[in-house]
Amino acid sequence: MRFVAGGVIASGYRFIFRDPIHGFLNVNPGDLEGDATVWDDLRVPLNTGKVAGGNVPTFEQIGSSGVYAYNFDDDDEMWFATQMPHSYKLESDIYPHMHWSPETDVSPADNVGLGLECSWSNIGSLINGTAVYTREASTGINAQYDHLIHNVPADGWDGTGKDGVSSLILCRA
């Protein structure tokens, strides 16, 4: 975090932010402490995921550009794992979302189904059972190759009981 005062980096200053809803944040040279909630994405690039079986997405060129990405047809799937960072606020809800892009114009009346099947476990607990989260997403008009984003599910995942850092999330997308 960098603070600027009068056009120069403020060094040797102490900043204290208080907010009755979000908590407080104390920034001292060399220190950052407080109970304020800070949001950050936990990124899982799909090129690090695994594919298997008969429902495998294809790795294809996007439009006429020189970049490639996975193209998912109906029922294609991929697996990935991620570890919750040590900065995770214990027992807080999380809001997984998917960035995606339709390869053709899809009528806004024809929703696209997005889904995740996941297991979220604390250290020392069983990796047992999964939860399935789905979302019907509308693309809008003339959305071919648009960068879209949708939470899956729309209202997030309940973090109750996720009381240790480094919990593990295993998923099928």
pLDDT tens digit at each of 173 positions of the chain: 444 444 444 555 555 666 666 566 666 666 666 666 767 788 888 878 888 888 898 888 887 788 888 888 888 899 999 999 988 889 999 999 998 888 888 777 778 888 999 999 999 999 988 999 999 888 877 788 888 899 998 898 999 999 878 999 999 98
C-alpha of 127 from chain center: 21
- Please give the C-alpha separations between residue 153 and each of 5, 39, 113, 122, 161, in angstroms, as whole numbers: 41, 18, 11, 21, 19
Task: Name the pTM for this structure.
Answer: 0.73
Nearest to 45 by CA among 75, 74, 68, 76: 68
Please tell me the distance from the alpha carbon of residue 114 to that of residue 20, in angstroms, as a whole number.
36
